[in-house]
Amino acid sequence: MSEHLFDYASWPDADAAPGYSGGRGATLFIEHEGDQWVLRHYHRGGQIGQLLKDGFLFMGGGRTRPMREYDLLDCIYKLGLPSPQPVAARYVRRGLYYTADLITRLLPEVTPLSIRLAEGPLEASVWMQVGECVGQFHAASIYHADLTAHNLQISDANKIYLLDFDRGRRMAGSGSWQDSNLSRLKRSFLKISEGNSICFNEVCWSELMKGYRRVLGGN
């Protein structure tokens, strides 16, 4: 794939967002030969991000973050799970460090679940679909490093997707990582519901877990 496709300067008229899922760094929504894509540049977070911003220690091409995320997304896509299809990834080495970009196919007419919740409460059946979505990934042993209400996306038809698999990986099987994932997700819902601007409570979580257990089994 041509290098210019990863250059933000090549897309002066593209719509931008402060992160496809509310994360760090600008994300561009671009069109190329009739295809709708999402171009994301990798940024660091936390205190180290204030120093390096978008630089990552190079430890081999196969261990770079975009290549690992691309491979995981390709696996997810082949499994038929609800997530964006990867298009291309690249890293640019600069001495000991590298910068990185990833292009995925745009999911049509989706909204972050956090934004949909701000518009009004979800029906119980939709909460169950959220749980079923998470359950599908856990059943396939897919670990998401940042499972939050921002990275869960909902379509106009209430179909649920999961995106942003940076630092995600395929696990050997079930384990405590699943409970940790769920705990992180619940904390995310609790955080965005502070101040009562978003409706989230134990009833919502109970319905989500019903959907989750429907996929994973158990009571």
Active-site residues, by number, are 146
Q: Would you state the structure tokens that stand for residue 139, as one six-digit string?
A: 């059943």
